Each structure stands twice: as C-alpha cells, then as structure tokens.
Chain A
Amino acid sequence: MLSIKNLHAKIEDNQILNGLNLEVRPGEVHAIMGPNGSGKSTLASVLAGREEFEVTDGTVDYLGKNLLELDPEERAREGIFLAFQYPVEIPGVSTINFMKTAVNQVREARGQEPLDAVSFLGVMKEKMKLVEIDQSLLNRSLNEGFSGGEKKRNEIFQMAMLEPKLAILDETDSGLDIDALRIVANGVNKLRNKNNSIIVVTHYQRLLEYIVPDFVHVLYKGKIVKSGTKELALELEAKGYDWIKDEVALA
C-alpha cells in the first residue's frame, strides 16, 4: 500500500527526515514512536502533502502512484487521511458545512454521485455515533474554542466521514481523557478492515492497548532506527529511549 524509501525532507535549512524507510501493507497497523522533535509529525505532513516541506531525496509509492507528485486534496481523494496533532481552528466554517463539501468533492473525484442533504445527514448521524460526538460541536466554527479532546474527536469523526484507505493519526491520543481515549480508539477499530491501513503516531503504550499494532517503529533523528512488534512499545514504556539512542550512537 505504502512504500517509503530513503526519504529525506527539509524545511527551510533544517534537514528533518534523513533516509526514512517504511513499508505498510493493506490491513496493517503501524505505530510510530520516538522522542520529541524526531520527525514524526514531519513524516505525517510530508505524506499529507504540506508544501513547506521539501523532499530532497527518496520515493514514496502509494498504491502504485508516486505520492509526492499529488496535491494534498488529490491525496485525500486517493484515500489518505491525516488526523492532525494540532488541528487548525477555522473561524466561520462549521464542521458540518465543510465536511459536506469535502465528502462531495471526494465522491466526485471517485466518480460517485454527490450526497444530497438528507443522505449526508444520515451518514453524518451514523458516524457521529461511532465517535460519540455531539452535533452541537459540529455546528460550531471548526475547532474554534474546542477543548483539546474535542478537537481530536472531531478529527476521528472526519476520518469516519471520509473512509480513508490509509489513515495517519498523529498523537490523536494526547489530550483525550480516559473514557474519550477508549471511545476514539473503538471508533478507529470499527473503521479498521483488511483493506485499510493505519499509521499511529503516539508517545504512549496506552493507546496501543486499544489499537493493537502489527508493528512498532522508533523514529529518531529523521530515521526509523528500530522496528519490532507490539512488545517493543512495552519495552519503550519501561526503559525510555536512552538505550536506543546508545545503540544508534554505537552503530
């Protein structure tokens, strides 16, 4: 599904990704962990198509296409979804209205008929239930004045609406209370199937108890320096990153 080879990316004069490799097959869940500032969000941004980041080397193949050639909206239409670590506030644009536009533009690109108001509302109600989000929140300006947890829940609601093939969840767990974490994780799990893949960026083992990963990777200084199964997350939780940094220093 996704094949990242030797990816190098920089912003202004800061080289942030330094030869990153990652293979994600359909149906897999990959967790990416790593110290602050190691490049996790940068990877997510590059995959979603943020223009500020310049890819200086390497390739990203997504379902047989050169992902790096596509505009962000084209990537979304091809099934990529990024749940932002810091969702953006957009005054005056309600989640409902913008989602209606988004869903219909995506449908149009996929050769489907647009949803009329009634069917859209039907789909929306169903997805709202999935992440237990209140309609009053969706009527408000997008993320404006939302609590941290409400923003994250709204991200997963949007994911549910857009039914991506590859979802990248960037620290969706941070800011969620214990109940919300369970609800959001359950929501994600319900969207999981053998054709969809998920990349979960997280700092904490807790989320991975709910969204159980097939692989866990450690991203450090712009590279994946260690990969393993879900036990690696437990080990990181117990030992921190120093031993990995030591390994890298020795190598």
Chain B
Amino acid sequence: MNTVVETTPILSDILGSLKPEPGLKTDAFNSLEKMGLPSNKSEEYKFTPITRALEKNFNFANSNPQSELNTIDKFAIADVDAHTLVFVNGIFSETLSRYNQTDLQIKPITGLEPGFGTLADYKTDALVAWNTAAWSSGFSIEVNPNTTVNKPVVFHYIHDTTKAEVKSFIRNIIRVGKSSNLTIIEKQDTVGEQPGFSNIVTEGFVEENAALSLFSLQADNGKRFHFGQTAIMQAHSSRVNSFTLTLDGKLIRNNLQLILDGEGIESHMNGLYILHGDTIADNHTVVDHRKPNSNSNELYKGVMEDNSKGIFNGKIYVRPDAQKTNAFQSNRNILLSDGATVNTKPQLEIWADDVKCSHGCTTGQLDEEALFYLQTRGIRKETARAMMLYAFAGEVLNTIAIEPLKNYVDALISERLHKNF
C-alpha cells in the first residue's frame, strides 16, 4: 500500500517513546511508523475514533507513574478459584498474583515462543504493530497434552491512575496441548481518576482435540481506553468458546479472531455489551474457516443507553477448501435512548459452495407492546424494562458453563439493569 502517512504529533511521541530491540520489535516499529495510527478514513476504525481519543487524553512522551496498590480484593471474581496473574500499570505484580504450576506452565513471555507474532498481524493493524513493538510484560501459558486444568487462569489488567495517566502494553501466548483444556479469564479494572490506555495482544494455539474457553470481563468504570487483539489458531476437533462482556469503559476495541485450521472444529463466540454514558464499545470478530466440516456459531447482543455507541463487525471467511462448513452469526441490538447508536456490519466471504451460512442483525427499541402487557399485570414500568432486558441478555449469559463465573457476571448485569425482581 502506498498511502502517505501524516506524522501526527502523537505518532512521533509514540515512536519516540519506543526503543525496540532488533528483530520482531524493530520490524513492528517500522511497520507502525509506515502505517501510522488509524485515521477516521480507515475502514477498520471508521466508527471508533481511537487515534483522536488517544490524542485528547494521553501524552505518550510521559512514562507511567508508580503504583502503591497493595490489594486487588475488590476486583476479584468471587467464588471462582483460579490462578490469578495481576498486572498493575502494565507490570506484572508477583505479590498480588496467586498461581501454581501443577497442571500448566506459566512463564514470563520472551517473544521467542514458537508461533509468536504469527497470528496477530503487525503488518496490517497499526495497533497490533504498536503492541508488538512496545510490549513490556505478559505470559506464556502452556498446557501439556492430555491434561485437565482444573482452575481457570485470570489475568487482571489493573490501571492505577491515582497519580497520572497510564499506558500498558501486554503480550501473551497460549498453547493448549492435544486433548487438554484451559480456561482464561481477562478482566480490566482501574483505581484512580486519570485515563488509562491498554493495548493487549494474545495469541493462542489450540491443538488437536483440545478446548479453550476465553472470557473477557470489561466492566471497568474508570477512564479505560482499550485495544485488544486475541487471535486463536484451532487444530482438528478442537473447541473454542469465547465470551466478551462490555459494561463500561471510555473506548473499548476488541479484535477477536478464530482461525479454524482443521476439521471437526467447534467455535462459539458470544458477546454482550450493555453500555451507558458515553462508552464506545467496538467488537470486530473474524471467523476464518480454512478446512472442511467445522461449525462456528456467533451471538453478540447489545443494549445501548444514554449517548453510548456500540459497533459490531463480524467477518466470516469460508475458504475454498472449507466445504460442509456451518457458520452462523447473529447480532441483536436494543437502543434505549435517542442519543444511543449502533453500527453493525456482517461481512461474509464465502469461496466454498457446499456450506450452510447465515447471519442476521437487528436493531430496535424495547418492545412497547410487551412492556404494556407486563404493566397490565401490575409490574412497574422500570421492573418490566429490567425484566425484558435481562431476558434479552440471558440468552448470552446462559452460555457461561462455569457456574460461579456465571453468577458473578449475572450480578454485574443485574446491577447494571437495576434488576430488582
């Protein structure tokens, strides 16, 4: 591509703040320098003004403040017994973390792991390039073949912005060995009033007959600006379940990419965004069917209130080899106020002929007729609203198979919806 890049002040600040080591980091740095940050003309970021938001809220010439945070109890996921890995302002905190390595290997990331940098493409996405050039911490999580990992691994991405704004760059790589299973939960939270920007890239390899569950809980009521890219390669007969919950944050961009590189694969992508205030939440998903006989099923639902903005973009690729693919996608949205918006775009590119694919997206208001019906039974309008929204969300909530996690998410959603029944 021969686009001329205007070097905005923010880009020179960013480039100036990076001192990439030779190798991939330098390649990524060069790629970022060449691409520049996405402008509002960039197709992939058309509705998500991330560059402008970063310009307005951050000074990339500054470094992060120190944090004195000595507990994260209030951010813990109640009743979920897990290995917890805590990052504060982009730095791993050994003292706040609790984990052991009995059934999996948890090692600081080096960048030399096999497959590193092969799934998250730093040549096409400037924010991935930025992460690849800038990451300062993260983990390699590896599960040996034929291993049942009993506890989920929870990544706590905490920003302590009490003293100043924070920028964090984290990089992870996951490998689930043949016939093994693993659950990862990512959660973001903030203490402090200043803004924070996180750029987190995770690459995953799910080997034959293995299963990976991925949860992302984004209920950070701090000034969180976030870019995340999670890219997973699935081998034969593997299973991936993802669940992305967004309830809060200033600007949240989630790129989730599943590559179905084998037969007999099951992929489930679920998402729920219930937004208020001026939150912008953008889910870009890609399901890439490369081989025959696999199934993917995607369900994202959103409720937008106040001046919040939801964006959904769902790409499904069915490559010429991927005959007998079943690929389903559904995105349903409810707008609760005049100021709320949603942009939804399914993008199906199908090169195989013997496939079953469908997609549907809807945007509407709460069904007034149904509200009236409930009211005529003596139910307060607010309760009736909460009931219907909770039922709407329930379809996604009920996909969570881990009971205590489901209860935790349920409580978050119930609080947001003022559920009082």
Give the tally of cross-chain contacts (CB within 8 A): 83
Q: Are the C-beta atoms of A102 and B370 separated by less than 8 Å?
A: no
- In the complex, A243→B25 CA distance in Å? 91
Min CB distance B254 to A, Å, is 25
Q: Are the C-beta atoms of B381 and A92 separated by less than 8 Å?
A: no
Known contacts A73-B380, A73-B381, A101-B421; A90 and B375 CB within 8 A of each other: no
CB contacts (< 8 Å) of A215 on chain B: these are: none
User: Which of the 9-residue segments B259-267, B344-352, B391-399 touches chain A?
Assistant: B391-399
Q: Tell which of B367, B373, B379, B391 touches A101, judged by Cβ atoms closer than 8 Å.
A: B379
Known contacts A50-B372, A72-B372; A93 and B377 CB within 8 A of each other: no
Min CB distance B161 to A, Å, is 38
User: Which of the 9-residue segments A33-41, A74-82, A227-235 touches chain B?
Assistant: A74-82
Q: Are the C-beta atoms of A90 and B391 separated by less than 8 Å?
A: yes
Q: Are the C-beta atoms of A88 and B380 separated by less than 8 Å?
A: no
Q: Are the C-beta atoms of B388 and A90 separated by less than 8 Å?
A: yes
Min CB distance A249 to B, Å, is 36
CB contacts (< 8 Å) of A75 on chain B: these are: 376
Min CB distance A65 to B, Å, is 16
Q: Tell which of B378, B380, B388 touches A93, judged by Cβ atoms closer than 8 Å.
A: B388
Tier of interface size on chain B: 20 to 34
Q: Are the C-beta atoms of A109 and B378 separated by less than 8 Å?
A: yes
CB contacts (< 8 Å) of B369 on chain A: these are: 88
Q: Are the C-beta atoms of B379 and A105 separated by less than 8 Å?
A: yes
Q: Tell which of A77, A80, A105 touches B383, judged by Cβ atoms closer than 8 Å.
A: A105
Q: Tell which of A89, A90, A106 touches B378, judged by Cβ atoms closer than 8 Å.
A: A106
The answer to the question of B374 belonging to the interface, with a C-beta cut-off of 8 Å to chain A, is: yes
Q: Tell which of B378, B390, B392, B395 touches A73, judged by Cβ atoms closer than 8 Å.
A: B378
CB contacts (< 8 Å) of B376 on chain A: these are: 48-49, 72-73, 75-76, 80-82
CB contacts (< 8 Å) of A91 on chain B: these are: 391-392
Q: Are the C-beta atoms of A84 and B373 separated by less than 8 Å?
A: yes
Q: Are the C-beta atoms of A73 and B373 separated by less than 8 Å?
A: no
**What is the chain A residue whose CB lies nearest that of B384?**
A73
Min CB distance A145 to B, Å, is 15
Q: Contacts A72-B372, A102-B377, A106-B378 given; 11 further ones with Cβ under 8 A?
A: A50-B372, A51-B372, A71-B375, A80-B376, A88-B370, A92-B392, A98-B387, A99-B377, A101-B387, A102-B378, A162-B377
Residues of chain A whose beta carbon lies under 8 Å from any beta carbon of chain B: 48-51, 71-73, 75-77, 80-82, 84, 87-93, 97-103, 105-106, 109, 141, 158, 162
7 A-B pairs in the complex with CB atoms less than 8 angstroms apart: A73-B379, A73-B381, A73-B384, A76-B376, A76-B378, A80-B376, A87-B373
